[in-house]
Amino acid sequence: MLLAIDIGNTNVVLGVFDGEKLVENWRVGTNTQITPDEYAMIFKDLFGFARIEFTQIHGVIISTVVPPLLPVMVEMSRKYFKIEPMVVTHKLKTGITICTDNPKEVGADRIVNAAAAYKRYGGPLIIVDFGTATTFCAITKKGEYLGGAICPGMKISAEALFKRASKLPRVELVKPAKIIGSDTISAMQAGIIYGYAGLVDGIVMKMKEELSAEARVVATGGLAELVSSETKTIQEIKPHLTLEGLQLLFDINR
């Protein structure tokens, strides 16, 4: 079995694969103060619920946008799985060509998403990832990763409203019943959810002008399902796209 680990700014997403099949997956909070031993304890508990043993894991692959946690996860893999993990960088074989000005700057999660989506759908392709930041990636028909756009995620925006506007509360990110909010909380929820739907459509349409009007638009990330149904441009939601990409990269590079 393969353990795929995607370390994001908000969550660490784990997936266990048996071949190409995703057997189980979990999300735990990202914490740069946790030691390799503490993360191993968390993993052990999660594995226990799924009746998976550490000894069943024969490969580990890690992608991260949180540099301080990379050595923590590498040490955890070496100590508890007895495995030298594969780490995602722009140097791995991916099935796509990174054509940005500085490939080293491209986030590991964006590389993984692009590789997985291109293998599944081909190009041209636009990937929208709803995470701590909302990112947009453009891939050509030939598999060229051109770059994209990055904007603050919904949680960041909601938190900014709470912290910078003294009379606005912290709100739950759920879809309100209507766009015209009759109270402060529903008005904030409407602005964030429907505002982001409009933001996504606006950026995607602009990207299609430069990439291709035929580009397929795929969404992923923890908040994808909340927003995608309110957009006009997103055609499909793939919640496990990053994990699938990690499995693909491991298979290509091992």
Q: Is residue 156 part of a domain?
A: yes
Q: Are residues 83 and 105 in the same domain?
A: no
pLDDT tens digits, 138-197: 999 999 999 999 999 888 888 888 888 878 888 888 888 899 988 999 999 999 999 999
Q: Are residues 146 and 188 in the same domain?
A: yes
Opening angle at CA 29, ends 63 and 20, nearest 5? 45
Report percent pLDDT > 70 for the chain: 100
Q: So which residues are the catalytic ones? A: 109
What residue type is 186 in one-letter code?
S
Alpha helices in the chain (DSSP H): 36-49, 70-76, 108-121, 154-164, 184-210, 224-228, 241-253
How many domains does the chain contain in total? 2
How far is the C-alpha of 28 from the C-alpha of 162, rounded, in Å? Answer: 24
pLDDT, mean of residues 211-222:
94
Q: Is residue 245 part of a domain?
A: no
Q: Are residues 231 and 152 in the same domain?
A: yes
Q: Which of 54, 87, 120 is the C-terminal boundary of a domain?
A: 87
Q: Are residues 104 and 224 in the same domain?
A: yes
Q: Give me the domain span that covers residue 195.
A: 97-239
Tokens of 190: 């409407």
pLDDT, mean of residues 197-207:
96
Q: Is residue 248 part of a domain?
A: no
pLDDT for 202 beyond 90: yes
Element (H, E) at 146: strand 144-152
pLDDT tens digits, 16-67: 999 999 999 999 999 999 999 999 999 999 999 999 999 999 999 999 999 9
Q: Are residues 80 and 116 in the same domain?
A: no
For the chain, give the longest Cα–Cα distance: 57
Q: Is residue 39 part of a domain?
A: yes
pLDDT, mean of residues 109-115:
93
